[in-house]
Structure 1
Amino acid sequence: MSNLKRTNSDDVDFINLVTLLDLDLKIRDGEEHTFYNQFNKIDKIKHVIVFYDNDVALGCGAFREKESDSVEIKRMYVHPDHRKKGIASQVLAALELWAAELNYPYTVLETGKKQPEAIALYEKSGYEIIPNYPPYENVENSVCMKKTL
């Protein structure tokens, strides 16, 4: 049985999944990893979703307030053995619902050109590419996106 849990960045399952995410991104991003990693700290994140199947944490995502009218989707990850099962879509939808409940009119996010599956997920979920926002405005690998909730 699967379920989604609302939690925060102190959640051990979230921390463990983010550790796997960072290992994956270190390989994908190569030399650029140090730049990106400085913006991916997970301390004090109040809005985290963890996806479970039979009490095993398989995926996660989070958001932080970006501006007074938007949140930034962060730390989206699904364990490689469980991809292509709709888990990321469920996590993203749960994050968007939570943001809407908190009266944020839209979400933004940054992903990388070296993550085509992430770009495809976001486009399928209604996100549109926008000009890169700070601190990514001059980063060739970055793709910034926005969705009205």
Structure 2
Amino acid sequence: MMITFETPDQPDVHALIAELDDYLYALYPAESVYALDLHSLLAPNVRFAVARDGDGAAIGCAAVLLTPEYGEIKRMYVRPAARGTGAAGRLLQLLEQAAASAGCADMVLEAGPSQPEALAFYARIGFRQCGPYGAYPDDPYSVFMRKPLGKIA
């Protein structure tokens, strides 16, 4: 498996993002899905990582939105067939390294309560629930989490 920063503007990455969108919109009302669109993922303060299998097929992706205060995880997704391979952990590790290099003190994320596996994964690697941050509203379909970057493994 190979995990590198790439542009999200690739057909196989578009397919990953479309799968993630289908999943999220099946779980939550549209107004409670706070996803970055492709244009936003191309912004200079966003780093986008792709996990590829041994054949070069895209099996996962994730982005970090870099701000002066924190790095925010966005668009984290690993195809179901590739779960349990370590792809999610390696994607997150690369994002945390990028955020730390940019001077961010914390990593933050917003996920939903209907994703218990994702929430458990984040908790296992040091994220703890917190209140809304940035411009997010206090939404019953949102779970906010934070991890100090000083605890990077």
Q: Deviations over 1:6-35 (max 9, x none)?
A: 123324333221111001111122xx1x11
Distance 2:136 2:93 in 1: 25
The change in CA–CA distance for 1:105 and 1:13 in structure 2 (over 3 A counts) is farther
Name the SS for the 2:31 alignment partner. helix
Name the SS for the 2:52 alignment partner. strand
Distance 2:90 2:73 in 1: 14
- The equivalent residue for 2:53 is 53
The one-letter code matched in structure 1 to 2:22 is: L
Name the SS for the 2:40 alignment partner. coil
Tell me if 1:103 matches 2:103: yes
Q: Deviations over 1:77-115 (max 9, x none)?
A: 001111122211111111111111122111111000000
1:9, 1:44 within 8 Å by CA — same for their partners in 2?
no
Distance 1:8 1:44 in 2: 12
> How far apart are residue 126 of structure 1 and its match?
0.6
Give percent identity, aligned residues only: 32
Q: Deviations over 1:8-67 (max 9, x none)?
A: 3324333221111001111122xx1x11345432313230010011201101100113x4
TM-score, L = length of structure 1? 0.87
The change in CA–CA distance for 1:39 and 1:4 in structure 2 (over 3 A counts) is closer
Pairs within 5 Å for 1:57-136: 57-65=58-66, 67-133=67-133, 135-136=135-136
Unmatched tracts of structure 2, length 5 or more: none
Unmatched tracts of structure 1, length 5 or more: none
Distance 1:10 1:16 in 2: 10
The one-letter code matched in structure 2 to 1:59 is: G
> How far apart are residue 148 of structure 1 and its match?
0.9
- The equivalent residue for 1:44 is 40
Distance 1:118 1:62 in 2: 16
2:106, 2:148 within 8 Å by CA — same for their partners in 1?
yes
Q: CA RMSD in A?
A: 1.7
**What is the aligned counterpart of 2:31 among 23, 30, 35?**
35
> How far apart are residue 145 of structure 1 and its match?
0.5
Runs of 4+ in 1 over 4 A off after TM superposition: none
